Structure 1
Amino acid sequence: MDDVSGKAERLGTGTSTLDMALRIVEFLAAQDQPLTLAQIAKAFSASKATVYRHLVTLQRHDFVRQDKETSRYEAGVKLLMLGEAVRNRFEVATAARDELSGLRERTGQAVTICGMVDGKLVVLDLLHGRTVIEFGTRPGTELSIHATAHGKVWLAFAKPALFEQTMAAPLQAWTPKTIVDPARLREEIDTVRAQGWAMAADELLTAVNALAAPVFNHRGEIAGSVAIVGSTQFIAASPDGAQIDEVRATAHRISERLGWREKE
């Protein structure tokens, strides 16, 4: 049973027609290039006639667009509009927009900001760096909590329940360097809490590192996390002091925009 079917079973019967239409939209949004009707139908093990009917309706409402020359289909502009509207609801992403651009220009690295959405650590915004390396991460991507710099920041500064919940499940070893021992991870999180920043060299992807710091709201609660991401060639396992200062200062300024004030 796939994830969509499982979710439908838990929520009730639902409407199968709407279910397929939504799955088509989600499928097209995840593609790097437009697809033919046959390719889409094959992906859903459905007839071309059935898929075509859904595409026509989705296209009418701008959720899907069809290239006039190739007749291929891709996600439509309506998704971009809705995505931007939803992202604006996440105050931390809105407050961070200008600061993220500045951090990228000063460091040359990709920049990400994350938030906790329905108990999942999610990328809210991403700006690619000036290096030749680009990452497949995009807004909406769910990140591992125990194996990323963003996740370690959340484990260090969120309520203790998040840490205990994370420890209750098996810790997946994404690479040979992923920390999967609970005791060792607890020590790591204590260090992050003390120093105010986190890194995760080679822990999620080999040869990739990230350096993250927490963003706080007006109540002093963690509201997000900001990070630079790059190859270990540019962000070493022992980060450069200037990089640490840049990330922490950026997180500090975003926090102030959210009404946070440092205790004297």
Structure 2
Amino acid sequence: MTHNRKSAGTSTLDLALRALEFLANESHPLPLAHIANAMSASKATIYRHLVTLQRYGLVSQDPDTGRYDVGVKLLILGEAVRARFDVVSVARGELIRLRDATGQAVTICRMVDGELIVLDLIQGRTVIEFGTRPGTCLDLHASAHGKVWLAFGPPALLQKTLATPMRRWAPNTIAGGLREEVALVRQRGWAVAADEMITAVNALAAPVFDHRNHIAGSIAIVGATQFIPSPPDAMQLEKVLAAAQAISRGLGWRSSR
């Protein structure tokens, strides 16, 4: 009996959290029926979960339309957790300066629970805006950030990636030769991924190190291939590497050279 009650409780919590995550990933408030349909659950069941989440400020309901959206408490909690990622707080000023110097969008990533996660995005000064949100997961083999982590992260990360089927996002996504590409990134200290995840988009990424000389993050400029060529422009490369080193020094890294 005890085991059954525990399973039911876990299942109930799972449904509530899935509903909350679903709302967070949508761009606008949703009616109850839509949420219930997406969760493959009854409206009565989802309503009970939403009422509980609303009580804790994690969900809000528009009094006029009755539609549901994430609550301000979720933003507060997210910002509280975000502050614990030292690399983000240390990097913010440098990321803005990098954006201003290059005009391109800037991203910072970190490995979280085995996944490469975008921690922050600063839009560029071009007509192109990127929809990548903090929390987006990037493939290691198909992104400039990913190649940096494969080059400077633990060796097991590369072995695991090579042993896993690699999704072909675009015509230029690496289908073979990843080990050689990663060795090149390790040698030169930066990575690009033109047309590898999205056609006509490129990124130029570099690693950020902490006081132990371990990789603590990666930064990149992201833009159209007409603005970020491959190989990259000398000025762009200089600015990205300088920003990565400045952030690394803020984390206690000291160059051995």
Partner of 1:249: 242
Question: Deviation string for 1:144-169 (max 9, x for gaps)?
Answer: 00110001111111122211111111
1:94 corresponds in structure 2 to 89
Find the aligned partners of 1:37 and 1:18 in 2 and give their Cα distance. 18
2:128 is equivalent to residue 156 of structure 1 = no
Alignment of 1:218-257 (within 5 A): 218-257=211-250
Alignment of 1:53-72 (within 5 A): 53-72=48-67
Q: How far apart, in 2, do the equivalents of 1:15 and 1:159 lie?
A: 34
Give 1:14 deviation, angstroms: 4.7
Distance 2:145 2:184 in 1: 14
Structure 2 counterparts to residues 79-118 of structure 1, below 5 A: 79-118=74-113
| Secondary structure class of the residue paired with 1:15 | helix
- SS of the residue corresponding to residue 227 of structure 1 reads strand
Instruction: Kindly report which structure 2 residues correspond to 1:158-237, keeping only aligned pairs within 5 A, or say none.
Output: 158-181=153-176, 184-237=177-230
User: What RMSD in Å do the two structures reach over aligned CA positions?
Assistant: 1.6
- Give the deviation of 1:263 after TM superposition: 1.0
AA in 2 matched with 1:61: Y
- Give TM-score scaled by structure 2 length: 0.93
Secondary structure at 2:137's aligned position in 1?
coil
Distance 1:203 1:259, change over 3 A: same
Sequence identity of aligned pairs in percent?
65
* Match in the other structure for 2:43: 48
Match of 1:75 among 59, 67, 70: 70
Q: Which amino acid is the alignment partner of residue 26 of structure 2?
A: Q
Q: Secondary structure at the match of 1:226?
A: strand
* Residue of structure 1 equivalent to 2:31: 36
Instruction: State the distance in 1 between where 2:205 and 2:53 align.
Output: 39
1:25 is aligned to 2:25: no
Task: Provide structure 2 residue ranges, at least 5 long, that are not aligned to the other structure.
Answer: 1-5
Moved over 3 A (4+): 11-14
Match of 2:3 in 1: none
Does the residue aligned with 1:23 lie in a helix, a strand or coil? helix
- Separation in 1, partners of 2:166, 2:222: 22
AA of the residue aligned to 1:35: L
Which consecutive residues of structure 1, in runs of 5 or more, have no partner in the other structure? 1-10
- Deviation by residue 1:199-220 (Cα, 9 ceiling, x = unmatched): 0000011111100000000011
